[in-house]
Amino acid sequence: MMNETGTGEHSAGRSGAAKSSLGWLRKLLQFDDPDVAIRHVRRNALVLGLVSAVGIGVVTRSPWQIGGFLASAVLILLNFQALIAVSDRLIDLDQDGPGVLQALFLVGRYVLLGLVLCGIVLLPRVGVIPVVLGLSLLVLAILLEAIAQVSTGAHR
């Protein structure tokens, strides 16, 4: 069936599917976040992650170690996203504080993250160093943003 633009609905459905398939990446990176510093930290983490993955690939020539790095980097970025959501929820609470169920959910999430991290480290041929580098990715991204903020503040 033709739509108003003269193209078939099938092609419109494909472009909608392409947008939705990239939706999880857009949500993870949230380039439209109102907090500029958080946007910059996400951008820095993405750039540092790509550069580090290439560097690990050149040095080790092991897809297992690259995979261990990327898995731990994605894990720490998902944790960062969850921490932002938790802090936003705590700020918006009208109550005295978080409830017991919310605290149990938070503890359960960290237990699950720990189990996933153990699974990554225990994979065969995945070294500990790439995993630690992946976990350090967010710290390096925050440090890079802090240096950028201080240097722009010093020039004013």
78-118 pLDDT, tens per residue? 889 888 887 877 777 666 666 788 778 888 888 999 999 99
Express each pLDDT in 30-76 by its tens digit: 566 678 888 889 899 999 999 999 999 999 999 999 999 999 999 99
Would you kindly state where each structural domain of the chain is located, as residue ranges? 1-29, 31-155
> From CA 60, how far away is CA 81, in angstroms rounded?
30
Q: For residue 136, which of 81, 55, 80 has the smallest C-alpha distance?
A: 80
pTM of structure: 0.72
Whether 45 and 137 have beta carbons less than 8 Å apart is answered as yes
